[in-house]
Structure 1
Amino acid sequence: MTGTAAPTPASADLIARLAADPAASFALIVREGGESVEVLSGPVTDVDLLADIPLSDGRRRPSEVLALVPYRQVRERGFAAHDDGAPLRCLTVEEHAAIPLAEALDALPTTPIPLADAGFDLDDAEYAAIVRNVIAEEIGRGEGANFVIRRDFVAGVDAEPRTAALTWFRALLEHERGAYWTFAIVTPGHVAVGASPEAHVSARDGVVTMNPISGTFRHPAGGATVETLTEFLSSTKETEELFMVVDEELKMMSAVCSDGGRITGPHLKEMSRLTHTEYVLRGRSRLDPRDILRETMFAPTVTGSPMQNACAVIRRHEQSPRGYYSGVAALFTPNAEGGHDLDAPILIRTAYLEQGRLRVPVGATLVRHSDPYGEVSETHGKAAGVLGAIGAIPRAITMVPDDDEPAPAPRLGDDPAIAELLASRNARLAPFWMQEQEPGARTAPFAGRKAIVVDAEDRFTTMLAHQLRHLGLDVDIVHWSAADDARLDAAELVVSGPGPGDPRDGESARIARMREVVVHRLAQHRPLLAVCLSHQILSDRIGVGLAPLSSPHQGLQLSVDLFGETASIGFYNTFTARVTPGVTVLTPSETRCGAVGDVEIAADPATGDVYALRGAGFASVQGHLESILSRDGMRTLERLVGHALS
């Protein structure tokens, strides 16, 4: 366990002192696998920006700080959010003690806290209607692959807030399992108590770790079994949901880690009422931990992808601000090198108490084949983990047995059949992202050549740039709004990137600029690679028609023929370029811009959906070669870049 905690025998006295002092701000934390309760106390300050988190005192001595980062902080990245004024709250730790878990349980209160007028703020039918709207209006229009929309369980609480916090914290320790952090954080006017299953990001000894968790198995009555879990793990929806969030978090890892990140797993995260599937991502970084936190705001498992559009979708469809839900509790701890380690769980499965009102926000990940009432059920299951522990609904399992209680059931993840089923998922994935990503680990066929990747607001560009660097290219990423012609002309290769939206949209400044990038490059006869949205724009420019797919290909893996080679590629598209089935070449007389010469087409032989194009000095691809779903992504990327540069 990290931190500067020192054991103390005065467990009851310490907890009683903090509970009795109305001016004291404190946090109680039990980390995964921990056998003690960390007690952090000190003064609280609210700051505006992550860069303002006070990691040193007036004499520049390093400070330990616990920061509550609200969801609205995504505005630092230029993303949309309802602004509820929730503060970026920093507890500067002046005392950090450790209390043995058994002693802490004895010292914590046990009297139940009654709730009044309890229920969801949106009823099941209202929430199901929102799910339908998001699938039809957002995923169906190409705005993204998945989105997380929340609802809140609310109730009145007539109890002293500190007593409620300590009571609920004790209950979570006794009745929940598998949490990454179990915690109670008490600051002026605000209480947060939770058992978060998910570490968002940590940084320790130069190693950054992220832990995407997705796919939710709600335990049936009587508990989970190997048979019921096997059925869940065989679900295409749940598997693809996890792959999509891994892709999204690899985008973040590629932005903050020099080696791009490596994935390991999958594993099970088993809790009292739910089981999730998870991967672990690791890479190396020298960034300030506050910068790491900024670049990874916030987890796609609680927002969606692509991130920027997910935030806009959340603002359109959620009826109230999120507060701290889907933000993080970030603990910055001084290390021996003079910097700070970071440990930041996501603020989910958390109860908030403010002005006598309890709020437990929960959300479901909506994808192209979501069932509205299945997602309703998922929100009930997620809320039940917290509500059952604090006694608001009947409890599922007592997790701290005494002499008269049976031991907890064995973990299903230890069953050989389950372990084999989990491991089999990796056969579908790109080996590139499952191997060490050290520079120079492979031959670089394009060493010394310069490329610019134009970002159309999908950070798949960070993964794409990382792969291009492994091919030897010197790569810069440029936002579409800054991609002026002079800057692009300085690059030998321009990669016009992916992004959300309808490529036919005549009102979007972003899509208009991406169209100009493609047209300018074609007119100059300079090397161009166009990906996904830009592939569609290129197709339209050449004269290939565009159409919406009958069912969006968001997070779909297909085996396709790309110019004589079969490749397993991941797709995230709602629109497609389409030719008459069987057409493999367009001659200059058949294109809108004959100056490009003959254009080769790789398309589905039955539907005519275009997977790739190539011509003199350019190539394009509909799929995401950088995705973990593109098992043959690196080989295909090298082929297409080589063609464009030739």
Structure 2
Amino acid sequence: MTGTAAPATADLIARLAADPAASFALIVREGGDAVEVLEGEVVDVELLADIPLTGPDGTPREVLALVPFRQVRERGFEAHDDDAPLRCLTVDAHSAIPLDAAVAALPAEHIPLASAGFDLDDAEYAAIVRRVISEEIGRGEGANFVIRRDYVAGVDADPRVAALTWFRALLEHERGAYWTFAIITPGHVAVGASPEAHVSARDGVVTMNPISGTFRHPAGGATVETLTEFLSSTKETEELFMVVDEELKMMSAVCSDGGRITGPHLKEMSRLTHTEYVLRGRSRLDPREILRETMFAPTVTGSPMQNACAVIRRHEASPRGYYSGVAALFTPNAEGGHDLDAPILIRTAYLEDGRLRVPVGATLVRHSDPYGEVSETHGKAAGVLGAIGAIPRAITIVPDDDEPAPARRLADDPDIATLLASRNARLAPFWMQEQEPGARQAPFTGRRAVVVDAEDRFTTMLAHQLRHLGLDVEIVHWSEADPARLDAAELVVSGPGPGDPRDDESPRVARMREVVVRRLEQHRPLLAVCLSHQILADRIGVGLGTLASPHQGLQLDVDLFGERASIGFYNTFTARVTPGVTRLTPSETRCGAVGEVEVAADPSSGDVYALRGAGFASVQGHLESILSRDGMRTLERLVAHALA
């Protein structure tokens, strides 16, 4: 970018840089040709609901909020508390200056770093990866978890000059970012190029943008061949599917139509390329409530979300600050409310008290290679540090004058486009279609169901599917699932959750066991899913075991009572019968009152996929997952059986 700064632009940037009391933000949004300048006063608040969207006179006003990770405690989730403030810049002036003029006016001096390096060395981080895989994923605590480490260094420079210098470098050298920004408030400086919009809400449409899979460009740049190898990786593909599932849980909680997925797409940046989907749905909620229900992105936390926060607290020794939080811009709209635009705070450098901090994390799954995840954190840190000029940037090969024009984006290559599109053949069509009520004939219209949530918000997706089948559905947290409330429901769906179904010390597991047993003893309609399926199996005398390799985000083609179905599984534990057994007589069950039980199991291992008997059905897989291509058909079959 070139150009001579207009006097007004130079004066504005000089004024902001010189005033130690000024609070402001500089933002360039994806595809924008101007730098937005937001100036105002800072207000720190306790809760998202306290974000001051109206002024003293009651009129709507614009607010930019920095939301720290500790704010997940509003949802009842665990987090180290570092007192990072929920900081609100109440915007008094919002102007725009041409991009080239802004670049020319911004400082370009070199900002040296001292004593630079990761806070955890590679061996320490690799050891944490091994522990998370064995102690958390291997024990059924979840499908994937993001554990961070920080690149830290000393900075002996004026923080405002450093921030503006790094912001200029990002504008000149980074590409593909959703937001490129510098946010400067007393005691806190954040400069970054976030590739990912966590959530936005405009004109009643909520959009989320799950991104996962990180391709670090080789020396000389990415090619079709190297990108094809990356896109063919099972690990990278499954990581993306798992975060889409997790964000659909959030979408189903805030959108009346559940959310629809489009993609996958490539997010191409200067040193990294990611894969992504886009989710859209309709909502009438206050944007602060939308933000609260979607804290935070599974791409930087893990799934299921509540347990991921507990795992992060166990394995990260220090608080996250703003890493994996959001920068949320609330802008007044014509309807008298506010639109929301909230990118994730990743690919961001923080400067406080003379110390630079660049937090980065890797997504750990069942087949993660510890040193592969170490390498991923190096790549992500280098992406930020190279873009701001703190380390040497990637070498750019300049073609000769008589060579052809530079190649188009890799996403435009037909082979790459075909490879990306082929991923959708594995996914449930239900979540790629419009989900407005009445879109299909509902077989269970007028019947009432209660879904008991065992701390896995897959229940929001499951409830949406049940509503699509015509049921009137209420979701009840396990701690509030009192007998009278459940007895009033025609169908109880005892939901999935993390953990060991044999854990007698867990109040959650004990309560889910009570829910299952009560419905069985009453001979009243019950559908048990995943954890609850295991509890049901244990109750009727089917043994439980641990899988040799956890099925976290695994798609299997299975026989469910004479019909083949492609189903997604997220389980570490399994019910298991003698291979070949398809039926249990009352004398063979621990609970003879349930009568005869049909068994759908793997013919070789005996791992049980589903059970059904008089008035009940259960399933190990997640019929609501995008990995369950036949999920809706199977759900309808099992509900019909339970209600028969």
Q: When the two structures are superposed, what TM-score results if normalisation uses the length of structure 1?
A: 0.97
- Percent identical pairs in the alignment equals 89
Aligned partner of 2:159 among 158, 161, 167: 161
- 1:185-233 CA deviation, whole Å, 9 max, x = no partner? 0000110000000000000000000000001111111111100100110
1:133-172 maps to which residues of 2 (within 5 A)?
133-172=131-170
Q: Which residue of 1 aligns with 2:578?
A: 580
- 1:296-335 CA deviation, whole Å, 9 max, x = no partner? 0000000000000000000000010000000000000000
Q: Secondary structure at the match of 1:93?
A: strand
Provide closer, same or farther for how the CA distance between residues 409 and 19 of structure 1 changes in structure 2, counting only shifts above 3 A.
farther
- Look up the equivalent residue of 1:417 and give its one-letter code: D
Q: Which residue of 2 aligns with 1:41?
A: 39
1:44-63 maps to which residues of 2 (within 5 A)?
44-63=42-61
- 1:618-644 CA deviation, whole Å, 9 max, x = no partner? 000000000000000000000000000
List runs of 5+ in structure 1 lacking aligned partners. 1-7
- 1:349-392 CA deviation, whole Å, 9 max, x = no partner? 00000000000000000000000000000001111111002222
1:393-412 maps to which residues of 2 (within 5 A)?
393-396=391-394, 410-412=408-410
Kindly state the Cα deviation for residue 410 of structure 1 after the two structures are TM-superposed.
Answer: 2.8
Q: Which residue of 2 aligns with 1:3?
A: none
- Look up the equivalent residue of 2:431 and give its one-letter code: W
Q: Which residue of 2 aligns with 1:425?
A: 423
User: Given the alignment of the two structures, is residue 571 of structure 1 paired with residue 569 of structure 2, yes or no?
Assistant: yes
User: Given the alignment of the two structures, is residue 176 of structure 1 paired with residue 184 of structure 2, yes or no?
Assistant: no
Q: Which residue of 2 aligns with 1:284?
A: 282
- 1:515-536 CA deviation, whole Å, 9 max, x = no partner? 0000000000000000000000
- Look up the equivalent residue of 1:347 and give its one-letter code: L
Aligned partner of 2:240 among 231, 239, 242: 242
Count of matched residue positions in the alignment of Structure 1 and Structure 2:
639
Provide closer, same or farther for how the CA distance between residues 406 and 331 of structure 1 changes in structure 2, counting only shifts above 3 A.
farther
Contact 2:298-2:305 at 8 Å conserved across structures: yes
CA distance in 2, matches of 1:236, 1:292: 32
Q: When the two structures are superposed, what TM-score results if normalisation uses the length of structure 2?
A: 0.98
Q: Which residue of 1 aligns with 2:446?
A: 448
Q: Which residue of 1 aligns with 2:383?
A: 385
Q: Secondary structure at the match of 1:476?
A: strand
Contact 1:272-1:397 at 8 Å conserved across structures: no
Kindly state the Cα deviation for residue 247 of structure 1 after the two structures are TM-superposed.
Answer: 0.1
Contact 1:551-1:574 at 8 Å conserved across structures: yes
Provide closer, same or farther for how the CA distance between residues 408 and 110 of structure 1 changes in structure 2, counting only shifts above 3 A.
farther
User: Given the alignment of the two structures, is residue 414 of structure 1 paired with residue 395 of structure 2, yes or no?
Assistant: no
- Look up the equivalent residue of 2:178 and give its one-letter code: Y
- 1:77-98 CA deviation, whole Å, 9 max, x = no partner? 0000000000000000111011
CA distance in 2, matches of 1:636, 1:183: 47
- 1:62-120 CA deviation, whole Å, 9 max, x = no partner? 01000000000000000000000000000001110111100000100000100000000
CA distance in 2, matches of 1:629, 1:259: 19
CA distance in 2, matches of 1:642, 1:19: 67
Cα RMSD after superposing both structures? 1.6
Q: Secondary structure at the match of 1:43?
A: strand
Q: Which residue of 2 aligns with 1:18?
A: 16
Q: Which residue of 1 aligns with 2:362?
A: 364
CA distance in 1, matches of 2:185, 2:450: 47
Q: Which residue of 2 aligns with 1:219?
A: 217
Provide closer, same or farther for how the CA distance between residues 348 and 519 of structure 1 changes in structure 2, counting only shifts above 3 A.
same
Q: Secondary structure at the match of 1:546?
A: strand
- Look up the equivalent residue of 2:551 and give its one-letter code: H
List runs of 5+ in structure 2 lacking aligned partners. 1-5
CA distance in 2, matches of 1:551, 1:574: 7
Contact 2:219-2:394 at 8 Å conserved across structures: no
User: Given the alignment of the two structures, is residue 609 of structure 1 paired with residue 613 of structure 2, yes or no?
Assistant: no
Q: Secondary structure at the match of 2:229?
A: helix
Q: Which residue of 2 aligns with 1:4?
A: none
Q: Secondary structure at the match of 1:217?
A: strand
Q: Secondary structure at the match of 1:27?
A: strand
Kindly state the Cα deviation for residue 156 of structure 1 after the two structures are TM-superposed.
Answer: 0.1
CA distance in 2, matches of 1:220, 1:544: 51
Detail structure 1 runs of 4+ shifted over 2 Å in the superposition.
397-401, 405-410
Q: Secondary structure at the match of 1:393?
A: coil
- Look up the equivalent residue of 1:243 and give its one-letter code: F
CA distance in 1, matches of 2:523, 2:504: 26
Kindly state the Cα deviation for residue 408 of structure 1 after the two structures are TM-superposed.
Answer: 6.5
- 1:542-597 CA deviation, whole Å, 9 max, x = no partner? 00000000000000000000000000000000000000000000000000110100
Kindly state the Cα deviation for residue 399 of structure 1 after the two structures are TM-superposed.
Answer: 12
CA distance in 2, matches of 1:527, 1:469: 17
- Look up the equivalent residue of 2:103 and give its one-letter code: L
